[in-house]
Amino acid sequence: MNKYELAVVVNAKLEDEERAAVVDSCKALIERFGGTITNVDDWGKKRLAYEVQKMKEGFYYFIQFDAESTAPAEIESRIRIMDNVIRFLCVKQEKA
């Protein structure tokens, strides 16, 4: 099992319930592919460095999880087609 961190930027125009549903579906994807979520950081609404899809703000979430090495590719391919996710990035965390 490797440690990973998934950063997700969610559309700022969504209501709280819709935003929570997007984050929950990201968590469900991680668990579906054998991952174990260890921590979820909600950074709240932040200004984007540059305009993406005519949006200037987004909600940032960082989800840390443990999973096999094949899981991140599967998770990214599913998140890529989610409508309300503006940007995402999954990185392997180095061992300290």
pTM of structure: 0.89
6/8 Cα distance (integer angstroms): 6
Question: Comparing C-alpha atoms, which of 10, 24, 16, 15 is closest to residue 61?
Answer: 10
Q: How many CB atoms lie within 10 A of CB 9?
A: 21
Question: Comparing C-alpha atoms, which of 5, 42, 52 is closest to residue 20?
Answer: 42
Q: Where does 2-92 sit in CATH, by number?
A: 3.30.70.60
**Per-residue model confidence as pLDDT tens digits over 3-51:** 999 999 999 999 999 999 999 999 999 999 999 999 999 999 999 999 9
